Amino acid sequence: MKKLRVGILGTGNIGTDLLIKIIRSPYLECVCFAGRNLSSKGMIKAKELGINTSDQGINAFSKKELECELVFDATSAQDHYRHARVFSMLGIRAIDMTPAHVGEFCIPSINGDTAIFEPNINMITCGGQASIPAIYALSQVIPDISRVEINSRAAEDSIGPATIANIDKYYSSTASAVTQFCGIENVSVDLYVDPSEPKPDMLTKIKLHTPTQLNPKIIKSLSTIVNKVKQYVPGYALVGQVEHVEGGIELSIKVTGLGDWVPKHAGNLDIINCAAIAIAEKYAQHARKNTLEEELQELEVGLYS
């Protein structure tokens, strides 16, 4: 079966790590790896892997011969506002790796089955991908959450300049996504860039302000969603004990990366990439199913005409 023809815009750590994940995917094929600098480490790696590269940025995807069906935009929030319009005009689906929030928020473990029908999908932020599944699961069994605090820690070398430049969008998109998925209006978000050695894994601490006490339903709901996320983010794990503290419930999520292009401690980069690959593969499978059904219908028409 034909693989889904996809492209990557942005050749930094996010884009290059995505490329390596796509290469081993049974559903995706990278037909263009585009940026601005053919001498960047990502471009050099792509060439070594035999991938079609371009230094024409967004313009690379205007070539009809690429037959590109979907592009991962791994640039910046500011750039994606412009890129989204171009992709729309070209009829190319976009998976936005930035916190621009042009398209539909996507957490594969929550709305993956419906997000595939959207022309532009936003992967929110690393902190959002780490925290929202757990918050969502708990919001289903805790009716009186008044506030949520999300505090993520990531190693200094895993936080790129685009994240720092767009930090306000990082905070606002994460909070907005929590509200959308979980119905909680009062959300605070923080990201701590940790310079310590050895490099720490990504860790996200979550506090839910609620009078509800810990009970078996809470633990079961949390366990179920953690296992669901682990299907596409193997290094996603609940660490320590879920605790009832004064004013609410606290828990911590650690993410260890696969170590494809970025180091394993950069789970913050790995989780958003794994989530993006998961939704792209889900779309590819959906497209494959539709193609098979159309071919069967044509075959039936031919047999009985």
Q: Where are the domains of the chain?
A: 4-123+266-293, 126-255
> In this structure, which amino acid lies at residue 292?
L
Helices within 61-207 (DSSP H only) = 77-90, 108-115, 126-139, 161-165, 167-182
pTM beyond 0.85, yes or no: yes
pLDDT tens, 259-300?
999 999 999 999 999 999 999 999 999 998 876 555 556 555
pLDDT tens, 227-253?
999 999 999 999 999 999 989 999 999
pLDDT of residue 160: 85
pLDDT tens, 133-155?
999 999 999 999 999 999 999 99
Q: Does domain 126-255 have CATH number 3.30.360.10?
A: yes
Q: How many residues does the chain have?
A: 305
Among candidate residues 30, 68, 126, 182, the one labeled active-site is 126
Per the annotation, the verdict on 182 as an active-site residue is no
Cα 295 to Cα 297: distance, rounded to the nearest angstrom: 5
Q: Is the pLDDT of residue 161 over 80?
A: yes
Cα 240 to Cα 279: distance, rounded to the nearest angstrom: 29
Contact status, residue 240 vs residue 231, Cβ threshold 8 Å: no
pLDDT of residue 91: 97
Q: Which two tokens stand for residue 26?
A: 């049974």
pLDDT tens, 73-115?
999 999 999 999 999 999 999 999 999 999 999 999 999 999 9
- Give the CATH architecture of domain 4-123+266-293: 3-Layer(aba) Sandwich (3.40)
DSSP state of 61: G
pLDDT of residue 304: 60
